Structure 1
Amino acid sequence: MDSRGAEQRPVRLDEHATMPGDGEREAGLRLQLPEDWAPAVTPGRTLELSIENAVYLALRHNRSLSVEQLRPLITGTFEATERALFDPVFFAEASVGRERVVRQLEEVGQVDLITTDRDLLEAGARQRFPTGTEVELSLRSVRSDSTRVEEEQFSARAGITLTQALLRGARVESNLARLRQAELDTLASEYELRGFAEALVADVEQTYWEYVLADRRTEIFAEALAVAEQQLSETRSRIAVGQRPETEETAALAEVALRRQGLINARAQKAAARMRLLQLINPAGADWNTEIVLEDTPEPMTFPLDPVDLHVRLSHQLRPELNEARIRARRGELEVIRTRQGLLPRLDLFITLGESGYASAFGRAWRDLDGPGYDYRLGLRFEVPFGNRAAQAESRRARLTRQQSLEAVANLAQLTALDVQTAWLETERTREQISATRVTRELQEEVLRAEQARFRVGTGTALALAQAQRDLLESQLEEVEAVIRHRQALADLYRQSGTLLMRRGIAAPGDEEVVL
């Protein structure tokens, strides 16, 4: 699982999924992982686990990741909502009505009642375009029956209406701003999900190595306890034959009690780390009593680190949080473009053309459409609110928000560089500690052997021997901890630089730099 040496197996978090019906790409992650990565587990028994298996299980079964994977899918639905604004709309209307008009006939001094029955059928389609154009096609048929005429009258009309925005709503980039913002929101959610997946992988690796450390501590304390008990037995034997005073037994007993105390704490830490690791990987068929058998050992890794400047440059290119912030800034640019249109008055040009036919029968009215009947309208429609304060405030808010987002990007870039350099220093420190703690442990072993020899020949004391054993124990723990901390520091450095998934062979969306 390291960037050097072992070959990486590919893990893919595939972003290619489709929305039903329209072929649009939904944002999201669909895991495609080799099945041979999955370890076998028997409920309540043991789980053989390497760090590679742990990452696999977490990416397949972690519940928090399952929740986060739905976020881009939900965000992606807003793209379809905004795109639907430019979809054709079909409309239809059917109505019946009656009108009675009272007319005063002054010439004859009578009242005339005229009753008219009117039936209307109309259908058509309209569509908006990003150019600020709206086109409507309609077909209409009207049947009228009046008491003034003997026969029913039918009229038919086919018409087209075109409306073109000349000022507000006339720019394509402004009309598409909300759609582009929805697309950026979906892209931002992918980067957010990538950041979550990267943090999860880092957390799994950190917890795995914590469990390794707790397991190693348990073994070291168990060995130390066995040595202390053997030393106690040897001390009692020497006291029995008069080679040692009885006071020597107290020091040996204290050392045994101290080792037993350390073993109890180590076992508790190991159990806590085991449950935390089980919660992260959430393997199918396992429960809280499942024991974990570790396959990876804490081998020292002392290869030189890449220059810190390289890690800083990579973080500026690949850090998911930074790219997500850049996407938010680009969204703010679109908001400035969109709100700028609100400062303009509305001026629309409209043209309506129609052909009409009239007859005493429904079919003949439609056949008469090529007759002399027609209508047209041409005009301008103007609208502007007094003061236009709402649009001005919205535009100013958009500009200020964009400026704020740009400042946030610059601040986050600086913090990212600080995080990377801090992680690099910690990684370098732990790398150097590996060799230093190894030398200390080797010297403490020599000190212990010397004290044991002095104790056997009667020139040393049980207290001095116990102190030597205690110093050796601490040096052993420090050596193991230095190796583990270096592994953890490497994982943190890769996460801070945004390269952890790549170095682990995990492919996911959001692996490209966002440029403002």
Structure 2
Amino acid sequence: MRQLDRRRSGYVASSVAGGGLLLAGVMAAAGVMGGCERPLHRDTPEALHRSLIESVERELRSLPESAAGTTAQRTTQPAGEVEKALASRRDELERMAGPGAYRDETPPYSPDLTGSPQQEVAVSLQQAIATAVKNNLSVQIARLQPAIREADVAAAEARFDAVFFSNLDHTRLDEPTTVPVLNGIPLGSSVNVREQTVFETGIRKPLTTGGTISLSTTLSRARSKTPNFSLTPDPGYTARIALGLDQPLLRGFGSDVNEAQIRLARNDDRRSIQQLKSELLALIERVESAYWDLAVARRALLIRQRVLEEGIEVRDRMERRQVRDVTPSQFADAVATVERRRAEVIRANRAVRAASDILKQLMNDPGVTVGSELLVSPVDFMVEAPLEYDARQAIVTAVTERPEVSQALLALDDAAIGVSVADNLRLPLLNFTARMEYVGLDDALSGSYQNAFDNSFIDYVVGLAFEQPIGNRAAEAGYRQSRLRQSAAAIAYRQTVQNIVQDVKNALRDVVANYELIQATRSFRLAQTENLRTLLVEEEFKAGLTPEFLNLKFQRQDTLATAELQELEALANFNKAVARLYRAMGVGMSMNGITFGQ
């Protein structure tokens, strides 16, 4: 294993300079949504904008802004009295136990599921993260969502596409009819027999104002076959060329209403991008956590194996002394201790394989599949470098970078769009209709169209249609509902900011506490190593070893193993806490050299 060469200091303190950027921290988060549109609908009241900014500033009031030139806070470890007392024997103690005592050792793995010797593949943390970002199945699903949402946007925009239409009707009438009588003389025929064919075609274009404009032509051919009755021309061709406009003037008028579904679809597209970013941030944290869990499990197996071998040595010595001063119960205790340690080795073997499978599933590497019996061997070891941080700057950075903030702003925009549409639906229905037709009639097809323009037969239709529900209760209820949803979205935004602040502070506290725990657990491990060392020195010079002495040796071996595991856990927890902090701040990708392209 090698020490991971990653900078753990400097980023938090310098990520966002100055509390004066709070407005940018709140509103610039919408910049990652794509496009140049404002994150909030233009009908959103200015009071809501101020409320959003205030929700961030309120959380930061108790955190002082760092003065120019001041340094950030730095994780510290309390001075260890144990280290000072044992400084002269530190190297010897580190060789006996601790992270450096197992460097480059291979754990004693049991055979894999095929019965073959366990094979390993070395993987660095950066390789694990890069492979997971590229291949993880959850991320692959999340990557498809923006493409799906883009298709939704195209479908919404298609509402305003021009439509070509055609209709063809053929009618044949053969029916009795009344006959007028003048002075006892019937006029006309008692039957009506005629054929008519009508063909209509044109283009209809919906407008973003809510109206529809159309241009069409209708050609009809009529021929009478009624006995004793004739028409001229027969057959007769009637050509109509029409231009029409239907436009709502109140309810349903304007692009704000008619393009609402397009804006909502675009917000869904941006939301899917932010969800992908959130998925990547969470994945990077999970991969790093799984990587350190595997590193700890691998070291734990080495520790358990060493303790087992030491226990076997003590048990064999007690077995040889059974004829002298070791009672059967004392020897049975020794055997039980060894078998307990053997069981712990088996569990440790299982834990390593479980941790490896978790990491393999997250990575989804085609060369190291979950189904394979290859075991991932972590190359890197946990970092212990101190971390510089500034709580205020960390929170501002989180509000700027976290995708949840952008998603909350998008939800606010959705609500504002809903208010705009609901407000428009409260208006009365007042629709304007205008239609102009050129009409031509002739006994030939071409002549009918020529007459339509030459003879200036023009029909005009202009109309207004009004409608208003008495009381308008449904529209008013819908508007109140939309305003309540907007208020709920604003509260949800404030809750999002509050959750992010809590997330960052908890992560920072974990970083600080776990860094201190490294020192505390190391002091504990060094003290227990010294306890065992003094016992071993005493063993060298002692003429006779009593069963009580050997039992004490068992106990100190177990206590030292526990101390080693606690130190490993503290190191891993510190590194996992740093990864969690970077996720909480929304910078996990940039800290690992991953560029999020939109």
Change (3 A) 1:289 1:356: closer
2:150 is matched with 76
> Take 2:194 and 2:554, find their aligned partners in 1: how far apart are those partners?
116
1:130 is matched with 208
> Mean alpha-carbon deviation: is it higher for 103-112 or for 182-191?
103-112
Q: Percent identity?
A: 26
Helix, strand or coil for the counterpart of 2:159?
helix
1:95-494 correspondence to structure 2 within 5 Å: 95-99=169-173, 100=175, 101-110=177-186, 112-113=188-189, 114-146=192-224, 147-149=229-231, 151-235=234-318, 239=321, 249=331, 252-285=334-367, 286-368=369-451, 369-458=453-542, 461-494=549-582
> Take 2:272 and 2:376, find their aligned partners in 1: how far apart are those partners?
37
Letter in 2 for 1:65: V
Structure 1's unaligned 5+ residue stretches are 7-14, 16-42, 511-516
Change (3 A) 1:313 1:278: same
Helix, strand or coil for the counterpart of 2:257?
helix
Q: Over residues 198-250 of structure 1, what are the superposed CA-to-partner deviations in whole Å (9 max), with x where a residue is unaligned? A: 2222222211211111111001111122222233445556x3896x6557756
1:168 and 1:342 in contact (8 A); partners too: yes
2:120 and 2:377 in contact (8 A); partners too: no
Aligned length: 474
> Take 2:194 and 2:522, find their aligned partners in 1: how far apart are those partners?
107
Q: Over residues 411-466 of structure 1, what are the superposed CA-to-partner deviations in whole Å (9 max), with x where a residue is unaligned? A: 12112211211111011111122233223322322221111122233387112222
> Take 1:490 and 1:108, find their aligned partners in 2: how far apart are those partners?
109
Q: CA deviation at 1:136?
A: 0.7
CA RMSD of aligned residues (A): 2.7
Q: CA deviation at 1:509?
A: 5.2
Whether 2:595 is the aligned partner of 1:507: answer yes
Is the strand fraction higher in 1 or 2? Answer: 1
1:4 is matched with 7
> Take 2:123 and 2:409, find their aligned partners in 1: how far apart are those partners?
39
Change (3 A) 1:2 1:77: farther
Helix, strand or coil for the counterpart of 1:441?
helix
> Mean alpha-carbon deviation: is it higher for 84-93 or for 308-317?
308-317
1:18 is matched with none
Helix, strand or coil for the counterpart of 2:389?
coil
Helix, strand or coil for the counterpart of 1:168?
coil
> Take 1:318 and 1:263, find their aligned partners in 2: how far apart are those partners?
44
1:11 is matched with none
Whether 2:583 is the aligned partner of 1:495: answer yes
Letter in 1 for 2:123: L
Helix, strand or coil for the counterpart of 2:151?
helix
1:343 and 1:388 in contact (8 A); partners too: yes
Q: Which has the higher contact order (CA 8 A, sep 6+)?
A: 2
Helix, strand or coil for the counterpart of 1:53?
helix
Letter in 1 for 2:553: L
> Take 1:477 and 1:494, find their aligned partners in 2: how far apart are those partners?
26
1:225 and 1:259 in contact (8 A); partners too: yes
1:2 and 1:504 in contact (8 A); partners too: no
1:355 and 1:370 in contact (8 A); partners too: no
Letter in 1 for 2:255: V
2:322 and 2:331 in contact (8 A); partners too: no
1:298 and 1:483 in contact (8 A); partners too: no
Helix, strand or coil for the counterpart of 1:502?
helix
Q: Over residues 359-393 of structure 1, what are the superposed CA-to-partner deviations in whole Å (9 max), with x where a residue is unaligned? A: 11111111222323111122222122333222222
Normalising by structure 1, we get a TM-score of 0.84
Letter in 1 for 2:168: A
Change (3 A) 1:156 1:266: same
Normalising by structure 2, we get a TM-score of 0.73
Q: CA deviation at 1:46?
A: 4.0
Q: Over residues 255-282 of structure 1, what are the superposed CA-to-partner deviations in whole Å (9 max), with x where a residue is unaligned? A: 4334323222212222221222222223
> Take 1:370 and 1:2, find their aligned partners in 2: how far apart are those partners?
88
1:194 and 1:509 in contact (8 A); partners too: no
2:122 and 2:378 in contact (8 A); partners too: yes
> Take 1:426 and 1:457, find their aligned partners in 2: how far apart are those partners?
46
Helix, strand or coil for the counterpart of 1:468?
helix
2:134 is matched with 60
Helix, strand or coil for the counterpart of 1:228?
helix
Structure 2's unaligned 5+ residue stretches are 10-31, 33-112
> Mean alpha-carbon deviation: is it higher for 481-490 or for 146-155?
146-155
Change (3 A) 1:419 1:257: same
Q: Over residues 87-146 of structure 1, what are the superposed CA-to-partner deviations in whole Å (9 max), with x where a residue is unaligned? A: 101111111113455332233432633433222111111111112332110111122222
> Take 2:144 and 2:381, find their aligned partners in 1: how far apart are those partners?
36
Letter in 2 for 1:110: P
2:170 and 2:197 in contact (8 A); partners too: yes
2:107 is matched with none
1:9 is matched with none
> Take 1:322 and 1:218, find their aligned partners in 2: how far apart are those partners?
43
Letter in 2 for 1:140: T
